Amino acid sequence: MKATKLKELRRRLEEKRKELLSGVRTRSATSLQAGEDGIQDIADQATSAYTKEFLLSLGDAERRLLRQVDAALGKMRQNTYGLCEKCGEEISQKRLEALPFAGYCIACQEEEESR
């Protein structure tokens, strides 16, 4: 992979990492403020509980994505970026442009998803 393309993908990964970390901090602050409302009726409590559960599920997905982004950045440092974690073959450049944190080539990703 060309150095300029690698540099662009690194920049995109770093931006995604900052975006994810910023979103987590914002939701954490909002969630703390929501808990300070004091007395709530039963409908407000139910809505609040649903909202908190929804935010937690979003947090899990974002944590997984953050781990993938961090892993991709680590692979860049180790000069193993762009290699499939399963078969060791190169991941296509088009796939990496679309999903810079992809860990598998298309064939291996399809195999993983079919499990």
Mean pLDDT of 77-103: 96
Spatial distance between the Cα atoms of 69 and 63, rounded to a whole number of angstroms: 10
- pLDDT of 59 > 90? The answer is no
What local confidence, expressed as pLDDT, does residue 72 receive?
97
Task: Give the closest residue to 1 by CA, choosing from 110, 96, 113, 114.
Answer: 96
pLDDT digits (tens, 9 = 90+) for 24-47: 655 555 555 555 555 667 877 777
What residues does each domain of the chain span? 1-81, 82-115
Instruction: Note the pLDDT of residue 44.
Output: 74
Answer for the pair 58, 27: CB distance below 8 angstroms, yes or no: yes
pLDDT of residue 98: 96
The per-residue pLDDT for range 17-27, each reduced to its tens digit, is: 999 888 765 55
pTM over 0.85: no
